[in-house]
A and B are shown apart, each in its own frame.
Chain A
Amino acid sequence: MKRGPSPFNIVSVALGLAFLYLPIVILVIYSFNASQLVTVWGGWSLVWYRELLNDEAILSAAWISFRVAFLSATAATVLGTLAAVSLTRMGRFRGRLLFSGMVYAPLVMPEVITGLSLLLLFVALNVDRGFWTVVIAHTTLTTCFVTVIVQSRLIGFDRSLEEAAMDLGCPPFRTFMTITLPLIAPAIAAGWMLAFALSLDDLVIASFTTGPGATTLPIRIYSEVRLGVKPEINAICTIMIAVVALGTVISSLMTKRGASRRERAALGAQV
């Protein structure tokens, strides 16, 4: 579509974005509120950030969450990329339907079900729950998101590039490493970041699969929030938002500049 937007279009997009961003903006502003009471504006202050720096429990939860997210995102990226390659490049293989079923289901599966079932698996296997069980659970959850992202990139990929490489004497595995991988790298990077963000975000599955000594940040925040609003939580939320916003903007700028040029070239050649 390229016809210009009508006033109705502009208003609906503007209102939609306002609805999406207003609560976040308010939350950020109130993290700088000097007053203990949320509604009373007590002037700008960094007091809650200082408080946060002294909160051992929150900081250690954040560190655990970061490590869980890093490990599970990395494992999920490897597994998810392999799964995407299987589904787009391997043709028919036995059990393919079951495989694609397992790949897509976690995307919509209610978290309480995934969490409960993983916990019961760990109990059945007699595994002590803690840091590593959360990593495994998050890897399972996020693999599927990576798969979908990488898969859609592989589908948009001109197969004749791989055929050309093989035709020029490049064996299949090396073709994947030298041709396919560099070209789908932006999608793999995006998949890793999404997996990282999802892991950092997850409360329900982590609550089921965690054990003593592995309290993640969302679990910590959840238990604080249940007791009521605390400006300190606003502060940590603001930090998390800032990190995510910065990461997203930088990465999208980077991949967009590289990828769009490549895409244009690839498209141009296909005309």
Chain B
Amino acid sequence: MATGGADQSTGGGAPLIRFEAVSKRFGAVAAVETLTLDIAQGEFFALLGPSGCGKTTLLRMLAGLETPSEGRIFLGGEDIVPVPSHRRPVNMMFQSYALFPHLTVEGNIAFGLRQENAGREEIAARVAEMLDLTRLQGFGGRKIHQLSGGQRQRVALARSLIKRPRVLLLDEPLAALDKKLRAETQFELMELQRKLGTTFVIVTHDQEEAMIVADRIAVMNQGRLMQVATPTEIYEQPNSRWVADFIGEVTIIEGRTSVPGLVDSALGPLTVADHATGAGKTLWLALRPEKISMSGHRPAGEKNAVAGTIFEIGYRGETSAYKVRLPDGSLMKVSIANVNAHGRAPYAEGDAVWLSWPPDAGIVLTG
């Protein structure tokens, strides 16, 4: 799949959700700018970006909690912009959970069905099913204030799923949980989504979370889509310096192509696998820290090797993050797994080292 276009179709079949040139302005501030995006049926889709990038606004427009200033939003081929929130077959799990404090767990979960005037027995059966699904059996009669954070999160999830929405919207659903619980819940969400087959759209500022749970990610910045692709593509083939820098760690080297496959930089000529770039244009080489090898002497047979001095070492447990000062004065980030059982890093600050990487490790960026 190409990585160039920010707005690309989902492949086969008509998309379930389609944003068509949607803009949203709050006064003079544009939260979302002429954005076009398709989401397929059954996808686990993530909207990822720094705070204030417009991702939550996009989600709220889908829920009907905000009206677009311009553009149309389709759900299953129907323009839903004129449909008020309470008539949309879309449900949302709120960041604050927004559990009704004056109702019990059951009352909260059943709330959506009660709005449809569902029968008493149907409600009871569906609530039981939801309690089961979210492992909340026996908590139905509790008041919200008697629950832990994790339990509240599950009540919120059950409440938003009970109407079997065509799309489940999740606004930073795990932000309030501590790290360990968050990691567990991420896998639970994925399992749930696979089991139900419902389309999930999640908003998150946590790139790791987006990469773990989502089939596809839309990276947003300042109301625009930067890249829409699978997690692997976003990490391995970012389409711009901004995306490369936003997702994970990266070192960016500026250069110019003279011969296809060779980039002239301040570090000398560097070999890249990408032959497509035209000669004479400024381009950037993005290098992920874990793709770089480090050794005490010049490695034989490597096309790309530079000498440097270790400037700083950050011990992280499983890996150590090195910053190496290069001859041109810049710093390169290198990540080395701490396979040594003693946990002692093989290098110390101030050591002279050689860095090398294979040609296909360098991602060539033109923007």
| B182 in contact (CB, < 8 A) | no
Complex Cα distance A268/B111, Å? 21
The reply to whether A168 and B145 contact each other, CB–CB distance below 8 Å, is no
A66–chain B nearest beta-carbon distance, Å: 32
| A47 in contact (CB, < 8 A) | no
A169-B116, A170-B115, A264-B145 are contacts. A160–B102 as well, Cβ < 8 Å? no
Chain A-chain B contacts (Cβ-Cβ < 8 Å), number: 90
| B334 in contact (CB, < 8 A) | no
Stretch at the interface among B17-25, B88-96, B187-195, B345-353: B88-96
A169–chain B nearest beta-carbon distance, Å: 4
Q: Which of B84, B95, B115, B143 has the most CB of A within 10 A?
A: B115
**Which chain B residues (88-131) contact chain A, with CB distance < 8 Å?**
88, 90-92, 94-102, 111-112, 115-116
Name the B residues within 8 Å of A268 (CB-CB). 145, 149, 152
Complex Cα distance A160/B176, Å? 15
B172–chain A nearest beta-carbon distance, Å: 12
Complex Cα distance A245/B39, Å? 62
Complex Cα distance A168/B63, Å? 10
The reply to whether B96 and A163 contact each other, CB–CB distance below 8 Å, is no
| A158 in contact (CB, < 8 A) | yes
| A52 in contact (CB, < 8 A) | no
| B179 in contact (CB, < 8 A) | no
The reply to whether A164 and B86 contact each other, CB–CB distance below 8 Å, is no
| A121 in contact (CB, < 8 A) | no
Name the A residues within 8 Å of B163 (CB-CB). 168-169
Complex Cα distance A165/B99, Å? 9
- Contact string against B for A residues 150-192, beta-carbon threshold 8 Å, 1 for contact and 0 otherwise: 0000000010110111111111101100010011000000000
A170-B115, A270-B96 are contacts. A265–B143 as well, Cβ < 8 Å? yes
Name the A residues within 8 Å of B115 (CB-CB). 168-170, 174
| B266 in contact (CB, < 8 A) | no
Of the candidates B64, B111, B116, which one forms a contact with A165 in the assembled complex, judged by CB atoms under 8 Å apart?
Answer: B111
The reply to whether B85 and A269 contact each other, CB–CB distance below 8 Å, is no
| A230 in contact (CB, < 8 A) | no
Q: Which residue of B lies closest to A263 (CB)?
A: B101
The reply to whether B112 and A169 contact each other, CB–CB distance below 8 Å, is yes
The reply to whether B96 and A265 contact each other, CB–CB distance below 8 Å, is no
Of the candidates A166, A266, A270, which one forms a contact with B85 in the assembled complex, judged by CB atoms under 8 Å apart?
Answer: A166
Name the B residues within 8 Å of A160 (CB-CB). 94-96, 98
Complex Cα distance A175/B100, Å? 11
The reply to whether B94 and A183 contact each other, CB–CB distance below 8 Å, is no
| A262 in contact (CB, < 8 A) | yes
Q: Which residue of B lies closest to A160 (CB)?
A: B98
A175–chain B nearest beta-carbon distance, Å: 8
The reply to whether B85 and A271 contact each other, CB–CB distance below 8 Å, is no
Complex Cα distance A163/B149, Å? 21
Complex Cα distance A197/B102, Å? 29
Q: Which of B87, B97, B152, B160 has the most CB of A within 10 A?
A: B97
A168-B91, A169-B86 are contacts. A269–B102 as well, Cβ < 8 Å? no
Complex Cα distance A164/B99, Å? 8
The reply to whether B145 and A164 contact each other, CB–CB distance below 8 Å, is no
| B144 in contact (CB, < 8 A) | yes
| A89 in contact (CB, < 8 A) | no
The reply to whether A265 and B101 contact each other, CB–CB distance below 8 Å, is yes
| A50 in contact (CB, < 8 A) | no
A160-B94, A160-B96, A269-B152 are contacts. A169–B101 as well, Cβ < 8 Å? no
Q: Which of B87, B144, B159 has the most CB of A within 10 A?
A: B144
The reply to whether A262 and B63 contact each other, CB–CB distance below 8 Å, is no
Q: Which of A166, A174, A182, A183 has the most CB of B within 10 A?
A: A166
| A96 in contact (CB, < 8 A) | no
| B65 in contact (CB, < 8 A) | yes
Q: Which of B86, B111, B176 has the most CB of A within 10 A?
A: B86
Complex Cα distance A264/B95, Å? 17
Name the A residues within 8 Å of B88 (CB-CB). 167
The reply to whether B98 and A262 contact each other, CB–CB distance below 8 Å, is no
A262-B101, A269-B97 are contacts. A164–B143 as well, Cβ < 8 Å? no
The reply to whether A163 and B85 contact each other, CB–CB distance below 8 Å, is yes
Complex Cα distance A268/B64, Å? 26
Complex Cα distance A231/B244, Å? 86
| A261 in contact (CB, < 8 A) | yes
Nearest first, the 3 closest Cβ-Cβ pairs linking A and B are A265-B145, A168-B112, A169-B115
For the A-B complex with A158-B98, A168-B91, A265-B145 known, give 7 more contacts whose Cβ atoms are closer than 8 Å.
A163-B63, A167-B91, A169-B86, A172-B86, A268-B145, A269-B144, A271-B176
Q: Write the residues of chain B forming the contact surface with A, with a CB cutoff of 8 angstroms.
A: 63-65, 84-88, 90-92, 94-102, 111-112, 115-116, 143-145, 149, 152, 159-160, 163, 176
Q: Write the residues of chain A forming the contact surface with B, with a CB cutoff of 8 angstroms.
A: 158, 160-161, 163-172, 174-175, 179, 182-183, 261-266, 268-271
